[in-house]
A and B are shown apart, each in its own frame.
Chain A
Amino acid sequence: MKAIDLNNPIVSKTLKEIGVYLVAVSIVIFAFSRALNALSDVGKRTTDHTLSTDAVKQELAKLSGSTVALGDYLRVVDLLISHARVSEAQTLLVKRLNHIRTHNPKTAQLEEIVLLRRLARSHVKQMHFEDAQLIYQKAAQLAKTFDIADQQILIGSDLIDLYAQYTKFAPGDLQRKGAEKLFNKELEQLNRLAAAKQPDEKTQRLIHNRHRVGLIEMNRFLELDNFDPEPGANGRI
């Protein structure tokens, strides 16, 4: 068998051409594989890198023991909720609720209400609106029983926000129709309560914004005091 003469200009040119062709083919195959990756990624959300398992473990380690302040506890719960780790947040909330109900039933009404509101909010994030509604109602009952006005108002504003969320259901949905009525009823109650108890500016603004956002969610634009009614306002210059 004869050895290939690499010094032969024809041979070296051919080899060079084959090499270049192979490189080009490899790049095209690489592009194809990336395109297939893109195809498989459609609809997926990119991984959330901001909260690693280790970070969660570290945060949870800080919560052991009954002396943890409510603020610290809620910070971890909020962190978990914002990172869509809702069930972990709910476990924590239920654990704390059970703890305070067992150990200091009389002094912890406010804390219980706050925890229930957070629990309800976690259900809203999961779009489990009925569960959220039940928990809010329970919290509202507690706030009323112990006459905690601020919380009553905040729960009211949470509820109008919740009823507005029902617009995520299809237009003909019965729950959605019912929610619109409840929205009006709750708003009325809330306004009465706010007039009587005079909450701080921030709470008033929260109620005001939620009311208006709620109206928008329900397509009741004409009831807005800042809606631009000029002709051509609907998405046009």
Chain B
Amino acid sequence: MEKVKNITALFSKTCFTGTAIQLVLAALFISVSVQWPAINALLIDPNVDIELRALIPAAIHRYAVSICLGSIAMSLFYFFDSKRNPRMTLKDVCCAIILSFVFYVMLFFQTLQFPVCVDDAYIDFRYVYKWVNGLGFDYNAGERVFGFTSILHLLLLTVVAFVFEKNDIAMVSQTVNTVLQASTYMLLYITTRRLFGSNLMAVFSACIFALNPQNLAHTISGKEAPLMIFLITVSIFAASSQRCGLFAWSGALLALTRPEGLIWFFASIFQHVLVKGKERLSILIAPIMVVAILYLSIFMYFGTIVPHGALGRAAMFSSMLTPYDKASFYILKFVGEDTFTQIIARLLSPDLTMQTAWAVQGCLVFLLLVELARRLSWLRFYASTVILLLLFFSYFNPYMFSWYYAWFALIAPLLVPIIFVALIGQLQSLKRYPSMLIAASIALLCAFNASFANLPPARIVSLNKHGFVTTFWPIISTLRSYPFGWNEGQDRLSMYKRACEYLKKCGTGGGQVATWEPGLVGFVLAKERILDLGGLLSDQALKYYPVPNGERTRLPVQGSIPPRSVLELKPEWCLFFDCLADNGLMSDPQFLSDYEMERFWQGSIMGGKGLFLFHRIDDGGRK
């Protein structure tokens, strides 16, 4: 009896139980890497190429290391948390198990991926590679174009790549993103635990964040979104815990992470002045100075503070394929879906064919956010800033890129637990009507089930093609698993890589390589001059947009290469998919007379036949 008492007393200690949970779960998750040969057939897309499969052992090694480091971090968390709460109740233990389990699940999905990012991320990686290796500051030597958008993300990657002497910037970026996502997860838990006053609701909030497929996509993309979400969480944490300095600095860092982060920064200054008045204004001086100096430096060097990518993206696209292509619809759709899954949209359109239903659902989430912010002072700052950002994105309504959504990524984790508590309260009022209580409970369970059906990363738009249905949770619903996700977008990148390796092998002769997608091409050919025909990095190409109607592609692609850009700028090499040129360059007699097709790589990308490499022939021979 004494022994049982001792054991119970031991397990009620936060530090001991927390560490014990980590040891058990970490062992369980590491066993996945040991058992990998047996389960990889189930989890990996069968279409993945042999050369890509060769990258899997390294990824599994990284996964095992991340689980070990994660378990140490979680143990440390419980060690420090034991000072706040030395003893755990059974409910606390359950919460700790769920929190830790989902943490490892998140690491599982985020680290078991190919180190291949989205094409845009490689534009940043070229800068980082050049800075780390001392190859110059600009994208192309001598061309002062403000070609990156996230100053802070680039600096962070540069420091990490420099310290660890890594040139595989894509892997560095995915690793940094995983660390940031894991940090956000824990910080969100700590913040919401205090705000909600409930351990269970805080775990619920953190789980909603961790299991959101968009967040996994952010990590794989290699872009700055995880950094943004981390800083937003820091900002909410600082605002709710009255840490004025941290609040001001997180706002400043957000301004350095994205240009529209300036909205957040100004809002945080306004909030500080509103709450504190003239008191402690000195706290703002250093962050304001840092932001001002960095933006002033950018202005002095590039002559603008508007990233060139914004100009390029405003010009290069000519047709919309889905409503999600535009920021306004995308934001409303996914904010709605993250919060209410499909519940309200289905009420309006049972078969979900009416797209307006998604927009209505999103609007209701924003209205609910505003209404809750009136009651909950800690939510006020985040609510008002995201409303301002919604105005910004709706007004400019740019073609959507998933990292813009990072500003709205915390709406669901903050709102859903509040909605859930409110619904439970309503259910309690139905006690006198048992049948109604049963019906309402079933409805709530169905909603819960619907949200689980969407667990990671089933709803990643870009990965859905090769999604694999696993059956380890068949009772609730089919749960899709996407380790080593692979899609057409990444197929496209591997073709570019093959072409660049060919060009490296045969040599460009110092000639300019023109392409519409300068990301991976620019990164692999880091020492070559790149002509970006899309205009993200080149002023020269912008003047050829919009592409005349009669020269735009007939295939389902958002943009086309303007034929005149190649004919007049005369790059020595031209690398493009025919889907971008089928009704322009590919049928232009002058182009076909001035250039010679050097090589072709087959691949049905966006309805086309493959990737073409042309080189210019000057009178008297090859240039």
Q: Which A positions have Cβ atoms within 8 angstroms of B? A: 17, 20-21, 24-25, 27-32, 34-39, 41-46, 48-51, 81-86, 124-125, 161, 168, 201-203, 205-206, 208-210, 212-213, 216-217, 219, 221, 224, 226-228, 232-237
Would you mind naming 10 contact pairs between A and B with Cβ atoms under 8 Å apart? Answer: A28-B390, A32-B359, A35-B359, A46-B319, A46-B546, A49-B546, A209-B597, A216-B600, A235-B495, A235-B605
Q: Which 5 A-B pairs have the closest CB atoms?
A: A235-B603, A236-B49, A38-B326, A84-B549, A34-B328
**Interface contact B394-A42, CB-CB below 8 Å:** no
Residues of A within 8 A of B371 (CB): 21
The dominant DSSP class at the A interface is: helix
State in angstroms the CA–CA spacing of A203 and B587 once bound together. 14
Question: A163 CB to closest chain B CB, in angstroms?
Answer: 13
State in angstroms the CA–CA spacing of A234 and B596 once bound together. 22
* B350-380 contact mask (Cβ, 8 Å, vs A): 1 or 0: 0000011001101100110011001000000
Q: Which of B319, B363, B595 contacts A31 (CB 8 A)?
A: B363
Most buried by A among B363, B384, B605: B363
**B499 (CB) vs chain A CBs: closest residue:** A228
Question: A152 CB to closest chain B CB, in angstroms?
Answer: 16
**Interface contact A39-B356, CB-CB below 8 Å:** yes
Q: Which of B49, B318, B363, B552 contacts A32 (CB 8 A)?
A: B363
Q: Are A35 and B600 CB-contacts (below 8 A) given A50-B548, A236-B494? A: no
Other contacts beyond A161-B587, A202-B594, A216-B578: 7, CB < 8 A: A24-B367, A28-B387, A48-B549, A82-B548, A84-B550, A221-B602, A232-B49
Q: Are A31 and B328 CB-contacts (below 8 A) given A202-B594, A226-B599, A237-B52? A: yes
Question: A153 CB to closest chain B CB, in angstroms?
Answer: 12
**Interface contact B329-A38, CB-CB below 8 Å:** yes
State in angstroms the CA–CA spacing of A206 and B370 once bound together. 63
Q: Number of contact residues on B: which range applies?
A: 35 or more
**Interface contact B370-A35, CB-CB below 8 Å:** no
**Interface contact A206-B329, CB-CB below 8 Å:** no
**A234 (CB) vs chain B CBs: closest residue:** B602
**Interface contact A41-B599, CB-CB below 8 Å:** no
Question: B541 CB to closest chain A CB, in angstroms?
Answer: 15
**Interface contact A205-B596, CB-CB below 8 Å:** yes
Q: Is B323 an interface residue (CB 8 A)?
A: yes
Residues of B within 8 A of A27 (CB): 387-388, 390-391, 394
Q: Are A31 and B331 CB-contacts (below 8 A) given A202-B593, A209-B596, A235-B602? A: yes
Residues of B within 8 A of A24 (CB): 366-367, 370, 383-384, 387
Question: B233 CB to closest chain A CB, in angstroms?
Answer: 22
**Interface contact A41-B592, CB-CB below 8 Å:** no
**Interface contact A81-B550, CB-CB below 8 Å:** yes
